[in-house]
Homo-oligomer: A and B are copies of this chain.
Amino acid sequence: MNNLDNIDFSKIKFVLMDMDGVLTDGTVLYSSDGEEIIKVFSVYDGYGIERGHRHGLKFAIISGRSAKANEHRARKLKIDILYQDCGDKVAAYNEIMKKFGLERDNFCYIGDEIFDLPLLNEVMFSCAPANAVDEVKEAVDYVAIKEGGKGAVREIIDLILRKRNLI
């Protein structure tokens, strides 16, 4: 992990992100109404994505679960593509690649769980938040200092922009 020698940051065009534990802190709040009503996000990630957009990056969320709160957050963040209830994240990635005419070297993926490993192994630049499970932290190119829902996504976007001398 944290081996950035093989990463050609100038080629990254698309940042793919898992939702729970990456854009959130991995907690889910249930109300007495019976809905998984509340998710905890970070304003720091929001500004990171906004700045990434301004510098031409695109963003997708690929989540194995679904929640209405996710959709609202994705809309607010102007996320380019949102996959929910996604059973095969590599298939979603292949779809995005095809749709945008991109290749492996154009992708970064940020994931935290066992089921993120197949896609993490596909993309050029694989990342995890500090709270990822050990198997993921051992497999990725970069483990963020910050946790999911607490600025990990912002940290990774800023790293990409900084490596390209954009900020």
Contact = CB atoms under 8 A, between A and B. Distances in A.
Interface residues of A, number: 41
Contacts of A99: none
A38 interface: yes
Interface in A16-41: 20-21, 25-41
Tell me whether chain A's interface is mostly helix, strand or loop, or mixed.
mixed
Interface in A138-157: 149-151
A82 B162 CA distance: 34
A65 interface: yes
B133 A31 contact: no
A71 B32 CA distance: 9
Given A27-B149, A72-B30, A73-B30, A65 B43 contact: yes
